Amino acid sequence: MSKIRVGIVEDIEEIRQAVASLLLWDERFELVFTLSRGEDALETIPGLKPDIVIMDINLPGMNGIECIRQLKPDLPDTQFMIFTIYENDENIFTALEAGASSYMLKKTGLPHIAESLIELYDGGSPMSALIARKLVTRYHKVPEKNSSLDKLSPREQEVLTLLSEGLLYKEIAGRLLITTGTVKQQIHRIYEKLHVGNKTEAINKAFRR
């Protein structure tokens, strides 16, 4: 197995040296660079193309998330691991959207970093336990009830759904085996129940577009 090429972007010298020492003592890794500024990372990383970059968020000048956002499109094979003290939702989800594949809290401790790097290199997305729980909680949230759509009868919901797909009145009538006149009546009732004046407003209100 070839060594995993890793770079570090961290402005606190003690932490940067501690992570560097961990990598230097582990024969599975090759330490490619250590940097303390996001602007330096933008200049250095594209030419070196490391396998993994360990990135702090709170850097002097450009922050780590913005740095990842700018680098990732041109470095699809480089994986970015956030290594930070920040555990708020905004930073977590913004970092992942920017292109980070891993989010580790510094309080997790260095002993877990080496194995997390291996997991990331092998295609995983290692997260500190607290971060993983936040992600699970986010996707387990019960969707907000759409009270506008609930005002409509099942048949009215069918009519509005077909209308939103671009079908004409006669096409909706044929699909539902009803007359065109009945379709017009259904749509009129839909407008009244939703307090709207046209189909665009009805579709937007019912389906929250």
Do 110 and 169 fall into the same domain?
Answer: no
Do 12 and 80 fall into the same domain?
Answer: yes
- Edge-first strand order for the sheet with 4-9 is 29-35, 4-9, 52-55, 79-84, 102-105
Do 35 and 123 fall into the same domain?
Answer: yes
- Domain boundary among the residues 140, 155, 185 is at 140
Query: What domain count does the chain have?
Result: 2
Q: Which residues contact 67 (CB under 8 A, 6 or more apart)?
A: 9, 38, 41, 42, 55, 59
DSSP, collapsed to helix, strand or coil, labels residue 105 as strand
pLDDT band at 143 (very low <50, low <70, confident <90, very high): low
Residue 64 has pLDDT above 70, yes or no: yes
pLDDT tens for 168-179 read 888 898 888 888
Do 118 and 23 fall into the same domain?
Answer: yes
- Domain boundary among the residues 140, 156, 171 is at 140
pLDDT averaged over every residue in the chain: 89
Do 21 and 119 fall into the same domain?
Answer: yes
The CATH number given to whatever domain includes residue 202 is 1.10.10.10
What confidence score (pLDDT) does residue 1 get? 65
Do 107 and 176 fall into the same domain?
Answer: no
Do 44 and 105 fall into the same domain?
Answer: yes
Do 153 and 80 fall into the same domain?
Answer: no
Do 129 and 199 fall into the same domain?
Answer: no
Rounded Cα gap, residues 128 and 85, in angstroms: 11
pTM: 0.67
Q: Among 129, 99, 104, which Cα is nearest to 114's? A: 104
pLDDT tens for 69-127 read 999 999 999 999 999 999 888 899 899 999 999 999 999 888 889 999 999 999 999 99
Residue 139 has pLDDT above 90, yes or no: no
The CATH number given to whatever domain includes residue 103 is 3.40.50.2300
Do 175 and 123 fall into the same domain?
Answer: no
- Domain boundary among the residues 140, 161, 188 is at 140
Q: Find the domain containing 65 and state its range.
A: 4-140
Do 39 and 105 fall into the same domain?
Answer: yes
> How does strand 52-55 pair with strand 29-35?
unpaired
What is the torsional sign of CA 32, 33, 34, 37?
negative
Do 97 and 167 fall into the same domain?
Answer: no
